[in-house]
Chain A
Amino acid sequence: MDVIEVSLKDRLGDFDLDVSFTVPAWGITALFGRSGSGKTTVLRAIAGLTHTDRGRVRINGETWQDDSRFLPAHRRPLGYVFQEASLFPHLSVLKNLQYGWRRVPATQRKIKLDSVIELLGIAPLLKRTTHSLSGGERQRVAIARALITSPKLLLMDEPLSALDHDAKQAILPYLETLHDELSIPSIYVSHDPNEVARLADQMILIDAGKVVASGMAADLLTRLDLPLAGYDNASALLEGTVIEHDPDHHLTWISMQTERLAVSREDLPVGRPARVEILARDVSLSLKKHSDTSIINILSVRVIGMQETNPGQIIVQLKLEDGQTLLSRITLRSARSLDLHEGMQLFAQVKAVALV
């Protein structure tokens, strides 16, 4: 059965770690929580780098750890990307890549050295020494080095957190490609909702050593009972299909059963699944469908929940006709003047849509 089963218990500083989850072994699972919530410990324990008092780790039916068995880290077929790239300073970039590759039996090498080098765009760096690389380049090499071992599970511990904004934005597309091109299940530790929205399929929310919620990222991001919807950059994910391009206006149209959304033109084949992120603050509400507005994307929605997040601000949970969920953040004053209530039918005007 293709699932990742993890169950860990330990004493951790001033709280108990007691984490247990089962997620499908595909795509990217975000392990999300504040710093100090225990997410790195969970990741390290899965890798066998940290011993927990009690632990059970099973990947696709293969037991890495239970009460009677503890496979040391070097015998677990996994890739690990640390927060800092941690390249070996005594080896060149190429030798760093080969370090893991050489230690994988030839019959288990499913991923080619060349294809990973190409995927992460590091061919020009191969002969360089590691200390001459920029932060973003280092992290790309570190990711490549982990991938080349053909891992059954890729573990990433906030791989972007040590990078500045530009380097982060430059590396995200590589992670997305990786997600699309390689079928390696990954667990991605993060405390950045934006990264989660862009990368994650599933999500495990963890706080003070406990799993608070787990499920599809799109569901968890918009749940009002979880802290994510209250974040300043709270967002929703919508899934659709590319249906046509409008070169004149430089737009790409994405269809979601009953609605369609325009995004800034992307070179994607028609028919391809697409995921868009819509920030709560970019969605305004209106009782009528205005045509006299600059806004292109107007969706018909129904209010299914409301909550005051900050004084004077309301986050509204909205359901599209196809069942997908959207968030809108408006002021308390607007909510009152619209007489907003659950079950109400209205229109969401979406100012910005980002293809992720």
Chain B
Amino acid sequence: MAFDWQPIWLTLKLASLTTLILLIVGTPIAWWLARTQAWYKQAVAAVVALPLVLPPTVLGFYLLIMLGPKGPIGTLTESLGLGTLPFTFPGLVFASVFYSMPFMVQPLQNSFESLGNRPLEVAATLGASPWDRFFTVVIPLARPGFLTAIVLSFAHTIGEFGVVLMIGGNIPGETKVLSIAIYDYVETLEYGQAHLLSAGMIGFAFIVLLTLYLINGRLHRSHQ
């Protein structure tokens, strides 16, 4: 029996794309949360953190409705001639961005907050504009935060199941990611294949986390 690589590639593609989008979307959100004094800051923080506590099925259910032909986003995508997103790969990416948002935003927010104002003020008095300060001071100093955020978002997207099930279904090559494939193998009693993928996932997750901790431990030491 040939080993089916497709779910693995699909999963990696999904996780990479989600992480990339989150990096672009999540960084400004985390920066805003770390710096703002707006009264509704905690409300925004709570919304970002919702996927941490909600059953993925709840998130998936509402996303399905929103992305569906009668939902606000579905209406928009249809009027743009893009069709509807549920049960497509782009729909899956869209859902994953929400689902993994806290894993990007929270580590970034923490590291932005721990930076404090001082390095930015110093850079300003040395003639650096706000963008310049962000790229030459914030990003290098928040490197451990970025690393943690990227790794956690990537790993968490790889492990998602409930949301995919609700919004992606089980279409080979389109939405059938690793966790769904494993579920499938177990359903059809193909334990050998299920083992292969599951054990692979455990090994992968362990190696990723171990690498992260080793790198952050080294960065932490070198800053002391």
Contact = CB atoms under 8 A, between A and B. Distances in A.
A312 to B, nearest CB: 46
A49 B224 CA distance: 28
A125 to B, nearest CB: 18
A124 to B, nearest CB: 22
Contacts of B119: 86, 88
Contact of B122 (A48, A78, A88, A104): A88
B137 interface: yes
Nearest to A80: B125
A349 interface: no
A340 interface: no
B14 to A, nearest CB: 33
Nearest to A87: B122
Interface residues of A, number: 24
A336 interface: no
Contacts of A73: 121, 124-125
B129 to A, nearest CB: 5
A288 interface: no
Interface size range on B against A:
20 to 34
Interface in A51-79: 72-75, 78-79
Interface string B147-190: 00000000000000000000000000000000000000000000
A218 interface: no
A86 B122 contact: yes
Contacts, number: 61
Given A82-B118, A89-B141, A104 B127 contact: yes
Contact of B127 (A82, A86, A103): A103
Contacts of A47: 125
Contact of A149 (B121, B127, B129, B224): B127
B148 to A, nearest CB: 17
Contacts of A149: 126-127
A104 B137 CA distance: 17
A198 interface: no
A112 interface: no
Given A74-B126, A74-B127, A74-B132, 17 more contacts: A49-B121, A72-B124, A74-B124, A74-B129, A78-B125, A80-B122, A80-B125, A82-B121, A88-B122, A88-B123, A99-B123, A100-B127, A103-B132, A104-B127, A131-B224, A146-B125, A149-B126
Interface of A: 47-49, 72-75, 78-80, 82, 84, 86, 88-90, 99-100, 103-104, 131, 145-146, 149
5 contacts: A73-B125, A74-B130, A82-B121, A100-B126, A103-B128
Interface of B: 118-119, 121-130, 132-133, 136-137, 140-141, 143, 223-224
